[in-house]
Structure 1
Amino acid sequence: MRRMGVSRVLIPFYIVAMPDLPPPHLRTRARGTELNPETRFDAHVREAVDDGWAPDEPRLAQTEVRDERIRAIIARNTSPDISFDRSINPYRGCEHGCVYCFARPSHGYLGMSPGLDFETKLIARPEAPAVLDRQLRAKGYRCDVIALGTNTDPYQPIERERRIMRGVLEVLQRFRHPLTIATKGAMVERDVDILAEMSGAGLARVGISVTTLDTCLARTMEPRVPSPARRLKAIETLAKAGVEVRVMVSPVVPGLTDHEIEGVLSAARNAGAVAASWIMLRLPYEVSGLFEDWLERHAPGRSAKVLSRLREMHGGALYSSEWGHRMRGEGLHAELIGRRFDLARRRLGFAEGLPPLRRELFAVPLGDDRQASLF
């Protein structure tokens, strides 16, 4: 459904300018943050000043979408605490606007702010399906699971119009290439035809994140994400079609959402999820300041407790990026959350582990724009 008051401007993407300053009297309806801080790469600090020329009526923050020309779409990583070594993200930035999103600092590499810019100045990669087809045909390519939606959500609102994720899935289906998806978007239901077929062949799994069952909390913390009930409905739709679905209790916010772990798992199991996982709240770089500001605005009574728990888990800091530590934290409260999750997972009958996705089915299809099929 198109949201009233939000327009999307499609601009060819070649060079990204320095981040705009948030103008005075800017309305940020249904946005995760009102802040637009400089990045750690900026040499200067800028401050917006009201010079008296601001319009009488506040201007609504609009979503802009630029197109990026790409030469490759598969990103590689060597992190020892991530289960995949390659991923695809059809978009940069995310209109979902989750204030806690660990991916926000990545917008700094584009010369834009991890704050409001991250959720209003988006980059689309329309050539992704064609470029992926070319990469998978490379003589030296070796098949392994591709993770989709690892940095920004592939089913954020602009996917309804752009359909880049759909194109990527169609390519992976033709190549019989294994994949996993991580999303908060109920739009994943649109692609149930592809996902059901691939899941039945042992080639696909979907992870859907449910942070909280509290609709009011979700609306302020992740403002343009489908409601918790709608995400549970998406789990049910996929599960009934035969798709293996993992519920991701991610992130767990200590002192704010950790009391809901059992409730989220129970609701997801009833909807048909077969596996479950969790990740502790991560606040790298500029995200910590954005989240602190959000706490003071929307949960001032919980702010001190949440920040105290996070510091206990990260040696006095709000976050530590050390491998083996960043996903869970450490200390008493981190251990208690982990134990509660494991007990609830076993009690509800979630699978201890799912069989690996199949890699041996990968095959370069005959017939494309360059080579016609003989049959």
Structure 2
Amino acid sequence: MTVTDRRTILKAGAMLPFLFASTDEVLGQTASPVSPFPYGQPIGQYPQPEFIRDALRLHFGSALQDKSKLFDGWDKDIVAYGMAPQPIGKDMLRAFYTAVFEEFPDFRLVDDVMLVAGDMGAHRYHALGTHTGGKSPTHAKIMFRGQTIYRVNSAGYIVWRNSNHDHGFRESQLDYFRQPSAAGPVRSWAPDPFAPSVSVVQLHTPATGMTEHSIRDIFAQMQNAFNQPRKRSDFWRNFSPSAAICGLNHDDPLKPMPLSALVERDQSLRAGLNRFKMWTEELIVCGDHVAHLYRLEGKHSGGAISGKPADGRDIVLREQAVYRFGSDNRIAEMWINHDRRLFEQQFGKGS
């Protein structure tokens, strides 16, 4: 398995949150006509990881010029899972994405990582868009996230896909902005990723002079400090005192909170969980931004958490966070997305 390391913001009007996976239903199908993409023909023995990667990148990249070109990379007999209770074909896929483009005309994709194995490609992303279209526009800036798995044939077309995009995450933001009390912008989005003058290089070239190696070293030290009570202060020392923390306020998920709010949450969890540990599952570094997938573990043998008394059970919490380092080489912003459903399964009523 190979991993490409390109993490860029694509101005793709396509809802790339959805992936294509493979099934036996497409194994015996006839190859499509020669792909019009530059790397439409594999060189040497098929499949090659580079060919699969380039086919998917070109598929997504073609939507930069024209959103409708997203559809050109799909085989006419594509089988798509995850969009409906049953598999759907190209016509229904086209109808779905056309509706998405109408509701979010400025849809942007943040390409986090792509994995390639055999004739399969797996793509994880988060995306941004402004809800200015459709019947009931909220003019809210919404974040999307998800994964998709694809199978690519020898002509460079996607013949199978399985998408897993987080509808609940998107709808919870739209629901918030539909509330009467949610008038006005929540945050300033600086630098503005929607502004035409802001290039990929400007957004993702570190202004701090930090290298990927130095950032990874900081996170290794942070995890070590987090897991050792005597080194707790070393963990917080990596945050700027003025750091903005988003994702802690459930009534207003995009509202920045002070660092003290994150410290208080940590103290509350530590009061309830013994042997409280953090484990990194994946770390992606892009300029002065970091995407962090991690889990928190502990035994609920201390104080109550979310009103639930201790019962001695082992607890696992899963979170994703995106960080931005500031000019002082410390974390200036942090966006947290946590698995709320998993939390409620362990601490909700009746758990």
TM-score interval (norm. to shorter): under 0.3
Would you tell me which structure has more strand in proportion to its own residues? 2
* TM value normalised by structure 2: 0.24
